[in-house]
Amino acid sequence: MHHLSQRGIDGYYAGGSGVASREQFHSARGLVKAFMDQSLDVPVLRVGGNAEDQASHSAARERGLPAPIEAYGRDDSPDFCVDRLQTLVESYTPAENPPPRPPFAPQEPYSFATVTGGTVTYDHAVCRTCASKACVQTCVPQILSVVNDVPVLNISLEQAKKGGCTECLACEVECHFLGNRGGRIFLPISGLPDVGGNHVHSD
């Protein structure tokens, strides 16, 4: 997000190491969240890494956000990827004033803190009618369960805060594409405005 928030950027190349042990869909979700939170408007080309197919799928779904994101794998040559990014930059005209993301104002907030001082919040009023419960299905550490038709922690608030929640972003990004958009993550990142917009801290 720091890189994407700089002025004067025409395009962004996001390369995932082919030998990295961390699944690259985490960084792909990070890109999507950056676009949603900061109203970013530059083309992005994302390449390769561990679990690249899932990462490419995560990036490719980003169709309702301002600028194009394209994803390629390790089998695509560097020259091809560079040429493709140049084409995206040359053919794309960013909006003068991209609209900000609507504020998050949950009617029935359920919140818990994360290890970095962030906060995950669900609006149970929205979650209750969600058919997919994507946040629960895609939660990497599997710390969520469905109780009375809404997502709740299956560990304690203290355990979540001490690292049980890995901030994998699934409960917001996957909810955005597959669910009812009832989840939001606030992450305090130095040098950027509040990432996540309006939020509710846990008690």
Q: Give per-10-residue mean pLDDT for the chain (203 aa).
A: 65 65 65 77 68 47 64 81 90 79 92 95 97 94 97 98 93 89 87 50 34
How far is residue 43's CA from residue 27's CA, in Å, rounded to a whole number? 16
Provide the pLDDT for residue 201.
35
Residues 6+ apart with CB under 8 A from 63: none
Asked if 197 and 103 touch (Cβ cutoff 8 Å), the reply is yes
Provide the pLDDT for residue 3.
57
Question: How, if at all, do strands 69-72 and 12-15 pair?
Answer: unpaired
How far is residue 59's CA from residue 45's CA, in Å, rounded to a whole number? 9
- In angstroms, the first-to-last Cα distance of the chain is 28
Provide the pLDDT for residue 199.
41
pTM score above 0.85: no
Question: How, if at all, do strands 119-123 and 144-147 pair?
Answer: unpaired
How far is residue 149's CA from residue 136's CA, in Å, rounded to a whole number? 11
CA torsion through residues 40, 122, 63, 53, sign: positive
Provide the pLDDT for residue 69.
77
How far is residue 143's CA from residue 163's CA, in Å, rounded to a whole number? 11
Judging by beta carbons within 10 Å of its beta carbon (0-12, 13-18, 19+), is residue 93 exposed, middle or buried? exposed
β-strand partners of 70: 45
Provide the pLDDT for residue 189.
72
Tokens of 162: 């001490």
Provide the pLDDT for residue 193.
56
Provide the pLDDT for residue 55.
42
Judging by beta carbons within 10 Å of its beta carbon (0-12, 13-18, 19+), is residue 75 exposed, middle or buried? exposed
Provide the pLDDT for residue 45.
74
How far is residue 43's CA from residue 11's CA, in Å, rounded to a whole number? 5
